[in-house]
């Protein structure tokens, strides 16, 4: 498999170079940027397979960069934040980050997170159960399981890889209620250190994409006191 390209964005040269060196040892091709505008230029020029993005950037914040990238691409984004507060993590996830790492972090932990992201992408690309249809009609949108896309009027809908993994899992298990803990285990993996709130954030993203009325969902329902269930539209 060819080396994957990782874009590392941080305004602190020492952190940027240290992370770049560590990930290069894992066999990745590394591109770096120190500001928000530089990050956007590098992304559009290099089309990386993953972005590691600092929250606090000069000229254009990491949140704004993440929002712009997510409008252009479904590339996985790992957010770096120096503040260990829930609101920062939630805002990052709300605008499309797939994961987050709080500073200070170990290089071993970050490298493990990067490997986990690529493992999940590989698994998603290989997963195509024989009894699963390639296309699932949700009414407003069409889920292309083989192509890993969400379509509306034959046009791709911007959606993060992790959100698509969650949707694909639910589509393959319609009518079955899952707890947040079960969804974390199935979609994020047993080694994911995040909180169940992560599931809620991604569910909101999915509802915005697939529901006619996200505030009054008919497809992706909340089962009070338990978790979530996807109910396919009746024909």
CATH of the domain at 213: 1.10.10.10
Do 82 and 36 lie in one domain? The reply is yes
- The mean predicted confidence, pLDDT, of the chain is 86
Residues 119 and 191 in one domain: no
Gap between the Cα atoms of 107 and 115, Å rounded: 12
Say how far apart CA 60 and CA 67 lie, in whole Å.
11
Whether residue 168 contacts residue 136, with contact meaning beta carbons closer than 8 Å, is answered with no
225 burial (CB, 10 Å; 0-12 / 13-18 / 19+) is exposed
Check whether residue 99 and residue 160 sit in a common domain.
no
- 23 and 74 assigned to the same domain: yes
Give percent above pLDDT 70 in the chain. 89
- Domain stops at, among 125, 140, 160: 125
Interacting residues of 71 by C-beta distance below 8 A, sequence separation 6+: 158
Q: What digits encode the pLDDT tens for the residues 23-78?
A: 999 999 999 999 999 999 999 999 999 999 998 898 999 999 998 988 788 788 99
Residue 55 domain-assigned? Answer: yes
Distant-in-sequence, close-in-space partners of 43: CB < 8 Å, separation ≥ 6: 7, 51, 69, 72, 73, 75
Residue 41 lies in a domain: yes
Q: In terms of domains, do 100 and 166 share one?
A: no
Total tally of structural domains belonging to the chain? 2
Cα–Cα distance between 78 and 97 in angstroms, integer? Answer: 6
Find the domain containing 41 and state its range.
5-125
* Token reading at 199: 């599931």
Alpha-carbon gap, residue 60 to 123, rounded angstroms: 34
Q: Is the pLDDT of residue 130 over 50?
A: no
pLDDT classification of 8: cutoffs 50, 70, 90: very high
pLDDT tens for 173-182 read 999 999 999 9
For tokens 């079955």, the residue is: 176
Name which of 187, 35, 18 is nearest 110 in CA terms: 18
Query: pLDDT by residue (tens digit) across 191-202?
Result: 666 677 889 989
Query: Do 143 and 88 reside in the same domain of the chain?
Result: no
């Amino acid at each position: 498999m060819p080396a994957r390209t990782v874009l590392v964005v941080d305004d602190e040269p020492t952190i940027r170079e240290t992370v770049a060196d560590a990930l290069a040892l894992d066999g990745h091709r590394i591109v770096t940027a120190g500001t928000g505008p530089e990050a956007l230029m590098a992304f559009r020029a290099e089309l990386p397979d993953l972005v590691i993005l600092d929250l606090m950037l000069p000229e254009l914040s990491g949140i704004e960069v993440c929002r712009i990238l997510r409008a252009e691409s479904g590339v996985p984004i790992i957010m770096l934040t120096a503040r260990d507060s829930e609101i920062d993590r939630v805002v990052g996830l709300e605008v499309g980050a797939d994961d987050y790492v709080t500073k200070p972090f170990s290089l071993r932990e970050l490298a493990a997170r990067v490997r986990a992201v690529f493992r999940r992408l590989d698994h998603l690309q290989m997963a195509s159960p024989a009894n699963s249809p390639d296309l699932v009609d949700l009414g407003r949108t069409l889920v292309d399981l083989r192509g890993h896309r969400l379509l509306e009027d034959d046009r791709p809908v911007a959606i993060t890889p992790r959100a698509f993994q969650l949707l694909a899992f639910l589509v393959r298990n319609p009518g079955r209620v899952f707890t947040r803990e079960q969804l974390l285990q199935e979609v994020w993996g047993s080694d994911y250190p995040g909180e169940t709130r992560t599931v809620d954030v991604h569910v909101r993203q999915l509802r915005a994409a697939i529901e006619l009325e996200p505030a009054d969902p008919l497809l992706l329902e909340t089962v009070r006191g338990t978790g979530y269930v996807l109910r396919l539209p009746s024909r």
